[in-house]
Amino acid sequence: MRITITLPPAIEDQLRVQAKATDKDINTFVVDAVEAWLLRRHQSHGHPQ
């Protein structure tokens, strides 16, 4: 699925820095971050994996 979002320049800059620091392209970094956030949210609401 493709989603287009508009981010403030400062957030985009932070994402690019973090992606580079983890040796990932921006798309992979954001997908991984969203997946991790969803997993943490799911776990914090008492749902098993």
What pLDDT, in 10s, does the model give residues 4-48? Answer: 999 999 999 999 999 999 999 999 999 999 999 999 998 887 765
pLDDT at 31: 96
4, part of any domain = no
Q: Tell me which residue range forms the domain holding 39.
A: 9-44
HSE-CB of 10 using CA atoms within 13 angstroms? 0
17, part of any domain = yes
pLDDT at 32: 97
pLDDT at 48: 57
User: What backbone torsions phi and psi does residue 34 show, to the nearest 5 degrees?
Assistant: -65, -45
pLDDT at 49: 54
pLDDT at 44: 84
Total structural domains in the chain?
1
